[in-house]
Structure 1
Amino acid sequence: MRAAVGTVRPVAAHSHHHVRTHDGIDWSSRLNALRQADELDADARRVVARRIVRPLPDHPTVLDVGCGAGGMAVALVEALSARGGGTVVLVDATPELLDAATTAARTAAAYEGDTAKAAVKVRPVLADLVTERPVDLAGPVQLVWASNVVHHLPDQRAAVAGLVEAIAPGGWLALAEGGLEGKFLPWDLGVGEPGLQDRLAAARAHWFALMRENTEGSVRMPGGWNTVLAELGMLDVTAFSFLVDHPAPAKQAVRDWAVERLRWHHEVAGHLLHPDDRRTTRRLLDPQDPAYLGLRDDVFLLMASTVHLGRRP
């Protein structure tokens, strides 16, 4: 989910081979998990999309950087359709994700259920934000949306500066970074030691710190996101958070997401857990085990994400 070229190539023509980005993650293998999360976040993202496009001029161009599987792209297309149309430029470094996002966004853009809906153009760009300047890919734009992408880039402050550079005067940056770690397990699962969720979160945080350290050219942040936006000359710097809340007993899609989420935790940070917790995790991931997460009624999803906003003078 990071951002090849200002020239737009037909998305279907990309050669699909598994590529690891600067963070060492094979994002194409994460496509299914990203789609699952998009489905569960959809309602919350619609509200966010309407909120961030509200101050924009007519027929704006919106840049969705690190578009992933396209969940926010769909929400942005719907929000722009409802206010007369515009253009959504999708940027990602992983061809499989860009394909998925483009298909989802174009499907949403072609929605004709209401004749009042205006067309929204969707333009995909395969690009790596470490080597490409966003302003060359799409700029100047009226809004940049970047969700959980900057923290995967070596120099986060420089990456934000590049996003700001792509914004037209008076335009907005919406940077979704941080919030509250998602919870999905009850404190006591009845198997293993209670408090597994907290230990998983600690292991994942440790893994994340190592991922940042091991990213080539990694530069530490000088402080919080609002500080960086202010230093880069942005005005009206503020933030808001949104909640994704699917309480137990949850629909099967939430359980499937939880299984995938736990599997991801186990893959990247399982080696940092106590052997007893690793055993418990394997039980929760085993469809033949009575403790299998995918069949439990006490699985839920509760997560808060923070969006940092700033306006370019």
Structure 2
Amino acid sequence: MTDIDWAAMADLLEREAETNFPYVEQALAELSHLTPQRILDIGSGPGVAACQLAAAFPQAEVTAVDGTPELLDRAELRAKRLGVTLRTQVAEFPAGLADLDRADLVWSGQVVHHVGDQQDALHRLTALLNPGGVLAIVEGGLPARCLPRDLGFGRPGLAARLDAATADRFNRMRADLPGTVPVVEDWKALFANTGLTEVRSKTFLIDHPSPLSEPHRHTIRRTLERQRHGFAEDLAPDDLATLDRLLDPKDPAGVDQRQDLFFLSAKTVHYGTKP
């Protein structure tokens, strides 16, 4: 995978996952007819989805799999706090997948796009399934929105320009991955190429209206801080000045104080069954 320091991002990853949590509940409700005995969450991070898998399927052995031990430590603490049973296993993605035991349900949230050959990654994930098992992959959806188009200062449409900078950064990340393979990201076709059947996709809404709770507000602050730092060379000076004002804790128009802050996004989950 990429050279991102995931351990350093642990707090942000956990807060983002908690803000986006409603889609996980909705996505797992689509699988409520299953009775899996073994579940793998590949690239589990701090374990937000893995703990929900354990809660939704209490009869199953759920294992959170990640290449960053510090994130798995957080997953274990979260499971203990929530009173669910969760195993953890350190394994790199995708190289370490061959060493894992087979499962009846494999979940992986926004991990495949960090691998140069996404089709090969899906083949490896499919190989983890027992016959009749289900693969559920989170990829795509809609960018998050948290502020009005016109903030009352700066140029209107900041969110769209941040989206463009994010997309450009994402494209550069994909191009720089080892062994990157250009592919049409038609996830249904990519799933079908692995031999999976009953392939379908569904998009789930995450809607936190204003006024936001402090944890969700903090998630937005951390995201904007990261964009301000990461896009310093990609954005116009006036947009950087707007971000500075949004991040000023003393400014009534900043994200810490304004009352019109909200969070609206959508995540797409792709499902397939191994014959």
Q: TM-score, normalised by structure 2?
A: 0.94
Distance 2:265 2:242 in 1: 23
The Cα of 1:171 is off from its aligned counterpart by 0.2
Distance 1:71 1:190 in 2: 36
The Cα of 1:214 is off from its aligned counterpart by 1.5
Report the 3-state secondary structure (helix = DSSP H, G, I; strand = E; otherwise coil) of the residue aligned with 2:131.
strand
Distance 1:264 1:224 in 2: 29
Distance 1:143 1:106 in 2: 22
- Over residues 194-250 of structure 1, what are the superposed CA-to-partner deviations in whole Å (9 max), with x where a residue is unaligned? 100110011011001011111222222244111110111110000111111001222
The Cα of 1:53 is off from its aligned counterpart by 4.7
Q: Which runs of 5+ in 2 are unaligned?
A: none
Instruction: Report the counterpart of residue 290 of structure 1 in structure 2.
Output: 252
Report the 3-state secondary structure (helix = DSSP H, G, I; strand = E; otherwise coil) of the residue aligned with 2:163.
helix
- Over residues 145-184 of structure 1, what are the superposed CA-to-partner deviations in whole Å (9 max), with x where a residue is unaligned? 0100011112111111100000000000000100111111
Is the CA contact 1:90–1:102 (under 8 Å) kept in the aligned structure 2? no
User: Which of residues 94, 99, 103 is equivalent to 1:130?
Assistant: 94
Is the CA contact 1:178–1:306 (under 8 Å) kept in the aligned structure 2? yes
**Aligned positions, number:** 275
Is the CA contact 2:35–2:57 (under 8 Å) kept in the aligned structure 1? no
Distance 1:304 1:215 in 2: 26
Is the CA contact 1:135–1:163 (under 8 Å) kept in the aligned structure 2? no
- Give the letter for the 2:204 counterpart: F
Q: TM-score, normalised by structure 1?
A: 0.83
The Cα of 1:106 is off from its aligned counterpart by 4.0
Counterpart mapping for 1:25-174 below 5 A: 25-57=4-36, 60-81=37-58, 85-110=59-84, 120=85, 122-132=86-96, 134-137=97-100, 139-174=101-136
- Give the letter for the 1:91 counterpart: V
Report the 3-state secondary structure (helix = DSSP H, G, I; strand = E; otherwise coil) of the residue aligned with 2:54.
helix
Report the 3-state secondary structure (helix = DSSP H, G, I; strand = E; otherwise coil) of the residue aligned with 2:150.
coil
Report the 3-state secondary structure (helix = DSSP H, G, I; strand = E; otherwise coil) of the residue aligned with 1:179.
strand
- Give the letter for the 1:260 counterpart: R
Q: Which runs of 5+ in 1 are unaligned?
A: 1-21, 111-119
Structure 1 residues 100 and 207, CA, compared in 2 at 3 Å: closer, same or farther?
A: same
Distance 1:245 1:231 in 2: 34
Percent identity for Structure 1 against Structure 2: 37
Distance 1:233 1:35 in 2: 33
Matched, 1:253 2:232: no
Structure 1 residues 171 and 109, CA, compared in 2 at 3 Å: closer, same or farther?
A: farther
Greater displacement, 295-304 / 209-218: 209-218
- Give the letter for the 1:68 counterpart: G
Distance 1:247 1:87 in 2: 35
Say what the alpha-carbon RMSD is for the aligned residues: 1.6
Distance 2:251 2:8 in 1: 25
The Cα of 1:268 is off from its aligned counterpart by 2.5
